[in-house]
Structures are given as structure tokens and as C-alpha cells.
Chain A
């Protein structure tokens, strides 16, 4: 529901009379109508926007408090404290090896797969410290979806890929699955390209299509936080453009954290930007501030390309 709604609104963007006809059609999330309208108005003053106040959004808050992450004895990130705005796009930038992926992957605990890791401090999702023992990782990951740097579809059909998460959650009815797949593929702007052949192997898609498929797969489980680790690094400008549009549409309903090496991309899609260096959070502010008048010399050097 949430996905199709956002899609509708996105289409209606710039046509106010249409918006009013679309919004009441959604019953499920009526509590969010104001928020959505707010988001829409905000997006009029693109490209640089200030973050919305937290209360406006139903998405959970992601917050790190003095969070450190170690690979064995090797430090990955150190003492990160940051609060990620809900229903907004937060970009993480920084030189290679500075711990961007480490931070991102700490938010859904996918780093748990690596042996000998250790964390200090706290990471909150929805006011719940996710590194306490009794946390249910399955629930966490249903709430916090992830798109990886390299497209990683399963060697299955397009349909099965998108339906994968829902099947894991125990949705079996063919009709339900079909609905979810269509919704998700539409939200990921892939539907028109694949709708005629959902049985085709996902591996036969192009890289850009595969990446959008992975986004659709992540959306299908209806998370509220979406983590994206350099989602466009392997893509051509057209696919990148599509994914950026997609991110822009999705942020009304999702809290999005995106790691990117592309400054323009960060400036284009994000509301907030965090600059990491050597495992530390150097500066975290609105994207406008970071790119136009950063407070730290280091940040300025990096965003202007003078970083050594």
C-alpha cells in the first residue's frame, strides 16, 4: 500500500489538483497524510532541502550513540554519535576504507556474519538498542532493508527474487505474492521493463536492472528503513538517474541511508550528509551546509575534491 501511494503522489507532483484526488484514496496510512503533503511541498524547493522535524514521520529513528565497531582488534568505526532523520535521505560520504559500509552494515547487523566482531556503544532503531541480546534479528531485518553495492539477485526468476522476502515471512497465496511483486517492481521503476516476462532469470537482466530488482526485493518486505551501500557504483548514468529518482520518491515513506562516493549524487539526493574519515564522524549536517559552507576544513577539502 505504502509503495503504491507514494508512487501516485510522485506522479501527481507539480499538479496540485491531482494530489487532492489521490491522497484521500489511501485509507491505510491516513495518519500520514499531512506528512506526505508536507513532504511534497518541501520537494518543491528542491534541490537543497532542510530536514523535516522528526515528529512528522512515522518511520523509526536510527540513532548511534558512541558507537564503535571492531573487526577483531582492527577498528572499523570509532565513537560515532549521530541521529538519522526519519523519512529523509541521509548520505554518508568519505574516503575509501573510512568505515562507511561498516556503519551502514551495523544498522541491520548484517556484519554479524563476520567472525570476531565487537561493538561498543549503542545503536538504536525505533528507540530500541539493537545490540542487546534479546533482539530478534529477523524482525530487525524486516524493518531495516538493505541494498548492496554489487547487485546480488538470487539465481532465480525475477518473480521469485522479489517474492523471496515475503515467502520467508510466510506469505504463500499466489495472488498476494503477485500483488506484492507488482507493487515493488513498480516502486523500483522496473515494472515496465520486466512485466512481460517475470519468469525470466534475474541474472539475464542488465546490471542497472538487477540493482533495481534488488531494490524491489528490499522494498517487498515493507521495511521502514532502507540502507543502500553505493547502489549506483556499477551503473551507467541513465540507470543511476533512475535510481536517484527512485530514492527521491521513496523517501516520503522510508528512512534512507545511502553510502556514495559520488559528491554530486550525495548533493542531489540527500537531505542530510555525514562525512566520515578514518573511522570517525567528522561532520554531520544538512546537505546544503556540508556542500556549501562546511564547518570543518577537512570536510571542505573533501567535498571540493582537494582531499589528499
Chain B
């Protein structure tokens, strides 16, 4: 095959430092976004198990809106839509990286909310009755008895969500966040070595998602000793 494509992996190797700066930003957006997302998810998930109609109502609306719209639309909406309003009314804009972090936080928060609610509701109500019958308040019963057991059940679905959120950051190439996918696109347009560069990009994502799987498996095993 004389006219065959000559793959030149050195191009990709040369582009690696550039790709790694993108991977670093991918990790930062994912970690910060998920930390905030977990916080949002825990609060709204709890609110949905509460008997307070207002709290559970607000949380349900939030979850439904976020789950019912694509994350790309949410990111575009924030970065272009909301920014247009902000610029007119307050004279400033959210940066693209910040918009990405907010999008991950709000988006993962909705899914984590469901995970938290489901895990809490899956704990047998005999556990609560045992705690209450010992004289513990509902708050203490929740903190010492329900939450630790629920947390353990949350780990596999949370791991799943962490991986999904990490991959979702690739969509922020559309709002010109210099994350891994975007850096890959730029390298390709400079070198035309699409196969080599995208192979590297894919492998870098795989490294990151496999690290998440690994960490969660270790955490799960730790907790399983009990």
C-alpha cells in the first residue's frame, strides 16, 4: 500500500505536553464541579426525603429540569445566555472555565440528588425505629445510623456519575474551555494528525476514568470490611 496513510506518532508525542495541560483542566473542572455537585446533591436529595413540601418540591423541580435538558445546552445557556444578561445588567461575564465548573456542579448535583434520595430511602425503617426507641433524636439517628449505611450504598452509583461527569467536560470544547478535547482539536488543526492525536486524547480520558474506578473500588473494599 504505497499510497497508504503514514502514521507519525512523534507528532502526537510532541503534542503531549499541550494535551496534558488540557487534561489538567479537565481534572480541575471535574473535581471542583463534583465537589460542589455532591454538596448540592446531598442537600437536595435530603430535601426530597423530607416531609416539608416546599423543600421537596423545589428539589424535585430542580432535578426534573436538569435531567430533562442536555448538559451541552446547559453549558451554552450559562456561557452565552446567562452571560448576555449579566453583561447587560451587571457589566461582567462568567469565564468559560467557571461556566464549565458550574455546569458540572448543577448537572451532577441533580443526578447525585437522586442517588442520595434512593440510598436513604433504601435503608430499612427498622433502623430508624431502633435508633428512636433508644431515645436518640431523629437528627442523631440520621447522622449515626442512616447516613453511614446510605453512604455505603451510594458509592457504586456515585462512581458511575463521576465518570459520566468527567466525560461530559469534553462538551465544554463548545464554549472554548481549553480542556482535553479542545486541546486535541487544536493540535489536529495545526498538524492534521487526527488519528494519532485523537488516539492519545482517548487514552488520556481512559486513564482518568480508570483511575476513578480504581479509587472507588478501593474505597468500597475498605467499607466492605465491616
Q: Do A and B bind each other?
A: no
